[in-house]
C-alpha cells in the first residue's frame, strides 16, 4: 500500500513539474500554447523633414527605450546618403544622422516594431543625481492664480502623488475653475501641470508619447506628465481620476530632458509619425527573443536547424508510444510487434496517410507472395529474412520505376518505411498465416495498422507537434501517463467482448 502511495505521489509530482514548467515557459518566454497564435505588433515610422542649408548636417532624434507596455522588436533607419548611429546613455537613447553637405528638403526615416507586453509599470529610476525642481516664474495675475490653485490642492493632499492627482483634477475642470482657466490660456494642461508641480518643489517634466491608432499618418507626439515621485520618475495619466501610468494605447517615445528632435544645418524641421498594426506568428516572436537566459537556455531553439528538424520528429515518438500503450493495455488491440505501429506511423508522417497506406499494403502484400515462394526453398531463418530485405528493396526500386512511368510517386514514399521492419513484418505475418490462419493475420495486421493510423493522427495534430517541440516538459506528463497505464489493473475493452458469454447463465 505504501509503495502505491509513493508511486502515485511521484506521478503527481511529474505531472505538476511538467505543468509548471510549461506554464513558466508560456508566461516568461511568451511561447504560445496554441500553434497558430498570432500576436499584434505595431510598426511605427518616424519621418523627419527639414530644409538643409547646404552645410554639414547633424540630425538627432530621441528614440524610445523600454517604453512601458511595449517591447521593441526591431528597428532600422533608412536615409540615403546619411550616416546613422545610435547613441545610448544612462537614461536616453538617440539616433544621429549625419551628412557633410546637404541641400534642399531632406527626409529621414526611422522604423521600429513594438509588441505589446503585460509589463505596464511606467516607473523609471533617476539617472545619476536625483533631479532638482526647476525654478518657475509667473507674472501677475497668473502668479496669484497659481499659488491659489496650488495651496488648495496642497491642503487636500498629503504626498507628492496625491498632490499631482489633485492638481490634475483641478486642471481638468478647465473653464469651471477660474484659476485654472486663467492659467490654461496659452498653455497646454500638461505644461501647466509641470510648471505647478515644479513650483511646489516636486520635480516634473514633459515626456512625449505617441497615440497608437491603426493606419494613421502624419501624427505628432502628445505630451505626457512625468513626475518624480518617491525617488522614481512616474508618468501620470491626465484622465478624469489622474491615475499613475500610461494609457494602454500610448507609446512613450521620449522621456528625458531636452528636445525630441535637434537639427543642425537645417531649418523648418519637424518629425511626423505614421503607424500600422501588423500580425506576426507568436511563435516566431518568442524565438526571436529567446536570449539564452533562464528557461530559454533549455529550449531546443538553440540547436542548429537541421538538428531541430530531426528532434521535432523524434519528440513525437513518445506520443506514439503513449498511443500504443493505451491501445494495447486499455483497449486491448493486438498488434504484431509491440512498437512496429509507431515506426509505421512515423513513416506515414513523411508520406502522408493515403499514399503511405497504399505503399505499405502493396509492399507487404507483394512481400507475402514472395515469402510464400521462399518457404518452398529450404533456407535458414536469418538468411530468409536477409533475402526478404533484398527483395523488399528491389520491389521498392521496381515500384518506383513503374510508379514514375505512370506518373505516381509511390516508390519514393516507400523509402521512408524502415525496410528491415517491413521484412520482419512480412516474415511474422507469413508464419502467422501458416500457423494460425489468415484470420489471425487479418486481426493482428489490421490491429497494427489501426494503431498506426491512430498514432499517426495523434502525432500530426498541429497542437501535438507544437507542444512536444516547443514545450519539451510535456514529455514529463506523457511519461507519467505511460507509467500510470502500467499500473492499470482494470479490464481491457476487448475483454468486455471476450468474456461476453460470462454474463448469460
Partner 1 sequence: MMFISPSELKRRGILGMNRRNLDYIGRHNARHLFPLVDNKIKTKRLAREYGVPTPTLRHVIETQHSIRDLGEQLKGLDGFAIKPAKGSGGKGIMVIRKVTDGVFVKGSGQTVDLDDLKRHCSNILAGLHSLAGSPDSAIIEDLIDPDPYFKDLSVEGVPDIRVIIFRGIPIMAMLRLSTHASDGKANLHQGAIGVGLDLATGHCVHAVQYSNRVLTHPDTGVTLDRIAIPDWENLLTLAASCHDLAGLGYLGADLVVDQERGPLLLELNARPGLAIQVANGEGLLPRLQRVETLERVSKDAGERAGFAMTHFARQPARSTA
**What is the spatial distance between Cα 487 and Cα 479, in angstroms, rounded to a whole number?**
13
Question: Would you count residue 12 as binding partner 1 (CB under 8 A)?
Answer: no
**What is the spatial distance between Cα 93 and Cα 86, in angstroms, rounded to a whole number?**
7
- Min dist CB 453 to partner 1, Å, is 23
**What is the spatial distance between Cα 9 and Cα 3, in angstroms, rounded to a whole number?**
10
Question: Would you count residue 8 as binding partner 1 (CB under 8 A)?
Answer: no
- Min dist CB 378 to partner 1, Å, is 5
Q: Sheet containing 232-236: give its strands across.
A: 124-125, 232-236, 222-229, 204-211, 250-254
* Choices 42-50, 243-251, 375-383, 401-409; region in contact with partner 1 by CB under 8 A: 375-383
- Min dist CB 485 to partner 1, Å, is 9
- Min dist CB 318 to partner 1, Å, is 21
Give the position of cell 494460425: 436
- Min dist CB 12 to partner 1, Å, is 20
Instruction: Classify residue 39 as left (phi > 0), alpha (psi -120 to 50) or beta.
Output: beta
Question: Would you count residue 492 as binding partner 1 (CB under 8 A)?
Answer: yes
- Min dist CB 483 to partner 1, Å, is 13
Output 306 or 373, the one with its CB closest to partner 1. 373
- Min dist CB 427 to partner 1, Å, is 9
| 47 CA to centre of own chain | 30
Output 98 or 485, the one with its CB closest to partner 1. 485
**What is the spatial distance between Cα 253 and Cα 65, in angstroms, rounded to a whole number?**
8
- Min dist CB 120 to partner 1, Å, is 54
**What is the spatial distance between Cα 177 and Cα 503, in angstroms, rounded to a whole number?**
90
Whether omega before 312 lies within 30 degrees of 0, making that bond cis, reads no
Q: What phi, psi does 268 have (nearest 5°)?
A: 50, 45
Number of residues that bind partner 1 (CB under 8 A): 26
Q: How far is CA 320 from CA 36, 169, 215, 357, in A?
A: 23, 64, 47, 17
Site map 314..333 versus partner 1, x via CB under 8 A: ---------------x--x-
Q: Are residues 347 and 456 in contact, defined by beta-carbon separation less than 8 angstroms?
A: no
Question: Would you count residue 496 as binding partner 1 (CB under 8 A)?
Answer: yes
- Min dist CB 2 to partner 1, Å, is 15
Question: Would you count residue 489 as binding partner 1 (CB under 8 A)?
Answer: yes
Output 334 or 362, the one with its CB closest to partner 1. 334
Question: Would you count residue 435 as binding partner 1 (CB under 8 A)?
Answer: yes
Exposure letters 238-257 (e unless 16+ CB within 10 A, then b): beeebebbbeeebbbbbbbe
The grid coordinates of residue 317 equal 515518438
Bridge partners (DSSP) listed for residue 76: 111
Site map 51..80 versus partner 1, x via CB under 8 A: ------------------------------
* Choices 187-195, 272-280, 319-327, 496-504; region in contact with partner 1 by CB under 8 A: 496-504
Question: Would you count residue 381 as binding partner 1 (CB under 8 A)?
Answer: yes
H or E stretch covering 382: helix 381-406
Question: Would you count residue 409 as binding partner 1 (CB under 8 A)?
Answer: no
* Choices 33-41, 233-241, 341-349, 429-437; region in contact with partner 1 by CB under 8 A: 429-437
> Residue 195's closest CA among 249, 251, 139?
139
Strands 93-99 and 216-219, how do they pair? Answer: unpaired
Question: Would you count residue 378 as binding partner 1 (CB under 8 A)?
Answer: yes
Output 96 or 440, the one with its CB closest to partner 1. 440
Question: Would you count residue 505 as binding partner 1 (CB under 8 A)?
Answer: yes
Residues of this chain that bind partner 1 (CB under 8 A): 329, 332, 378, 380-382, 431, 435-436, 487-492, 495-505
Amino acid at each position: 500500500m505504501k509503495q502505491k502511495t509513493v508511486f502515485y505521489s511521484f506521478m503527481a509530482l511529474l505531472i505538476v513539474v511538467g505543468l509548471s514548467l510549461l506554464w513558466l515557459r508560456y508566461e516568461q518566454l511568451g511561447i504560445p500554447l496554441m500553434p497558430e497564435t498570432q500576436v499584434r505588433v505595431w510598426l511605427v515610422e518616424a519621418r523627419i523633414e527639414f530644409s538643409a542649408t547646404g552645410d554639414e548636417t547633424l540630425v538627432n532624434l530621441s528614440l524610445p527605450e523600454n517604453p512601458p507596455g511595449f517591447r521593441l522588436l526591431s528597428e532600422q533607419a533608412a536615409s540615403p546618403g546619411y550616416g546613422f548611429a545610435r547613441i545610448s546613455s544612462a537614461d536616453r537613447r538617440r539616433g544621429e544622422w549625419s551628412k557633410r553637405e546637404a541641400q534642399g528638403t531632406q527626409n529621414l526615416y526611422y522604423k521600429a516594431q513594438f509588441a505589446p507586453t503585460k509589463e505596464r509599470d511606467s516607473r523609471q529610476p533617476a539617472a545619476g543625481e536625483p533631479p532638482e525642481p526647476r525654478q518657475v516664474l509667473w507674472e501677475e495675475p497668473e502668479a496669484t492664480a497659481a499659488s491659489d490653485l496650488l495651496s488648495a490642492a496642497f491642503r487636500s493632499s498629503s504626498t507628492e502623488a496625491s498632490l499631482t492627482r489633485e492638481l490634475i483634477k483641478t486642471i481638468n475642470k478647465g473653464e469651471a475653475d477660474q484659476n485654472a482657466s486663467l492659467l490654461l490660456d496659452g498653455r497646454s494642461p500638461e505644461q501647466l501641470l509641470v510648471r505647478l508641480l515644479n513650483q511646489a518643489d516636486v520635480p516634473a517634466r514633459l515626456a512625449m508619447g505617441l497615440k497608437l491608432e491603426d493606419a494613421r499618418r502624419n501624427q505628432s507626439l502628445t505630451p505626457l506628465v512625468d513626475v518624480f515621485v518617491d525617488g522614481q520618475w512616474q508618468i501620470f495619466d491626465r484622465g478624469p481620476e489622474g491615475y499613475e501610468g500610461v494609457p494602454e494605447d500610448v507609446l512613450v517615445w521620449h522621456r528625458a530632458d531636452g528636445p525630441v528632435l535637434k537639427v543642425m544645418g537645417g531649418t523648418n524641421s519637424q518629425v511626423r509619425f505614421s503607424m500600422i498594426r501588423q500580425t506576426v506568428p507568436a511563435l516566431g516572436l518568442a524565438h526571436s527573443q529567446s536570449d539564452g537566459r533562464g528557461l530559454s537556455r533549455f529550449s531546443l531553439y538553440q540547436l542548429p536547424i537541421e538538428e531541430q528538424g530531426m528532434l521535432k520528429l523524434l519528440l513525437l515518438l513518445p506520443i506514439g508510444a503513449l498511443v500504443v500503450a493505451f491501445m494495447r493495455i486499455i483497449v486491448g488491440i493486438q498488434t504484431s510487434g509491440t512498437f512496429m505501429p509507431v515506426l509505421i506511423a512515423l513513416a506515414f508522417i513523411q508520406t502522408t496517410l493515403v499514399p503511405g497506406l497504399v505503399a505499405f499494403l502493396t509492399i507487404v502484400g507483394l512481400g507475402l507472395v514472395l515469402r510464400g515462394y521462399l518457404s518452398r526453398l529450404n533456407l535458414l531463418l536469418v538468411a530468409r529474412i536477409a533475402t526478404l530485405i533484398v527483395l523488399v528493396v528491389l520491389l521498392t526500386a521496381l515500384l518506383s520505376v513503374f510508379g514514375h512511368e505512370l506518373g505516381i510517386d509511390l516508390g519514393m514514399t516507400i523509402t521512408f518505411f524502415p525496410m528491415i521492419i517491413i521484412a520482419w513484418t512480412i516474415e511474422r505475418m507469413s508464419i502467422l498465416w501458416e500457423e494460425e490462419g489468415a484470420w489471425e493475420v487479418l486481426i493482428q495486421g489490421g490491429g497494427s495498422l489501426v494503431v498506426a493510423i491512430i498514432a499517426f493522427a495523434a502525432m500530426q495534430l498541429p497542437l501535438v507537434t507544437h507542444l512536444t517541440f516547443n514545450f519539451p516538459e510535456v514529455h514529463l506528463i506523457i511519461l507519467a501517463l505511460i507509467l500510470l497505464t502500467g499500473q492499470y489493473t482494470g479490464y481491457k475493452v476487448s475483454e468486455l467482448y471476450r468474456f461476453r458469454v460470462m454474463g448469460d447463465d
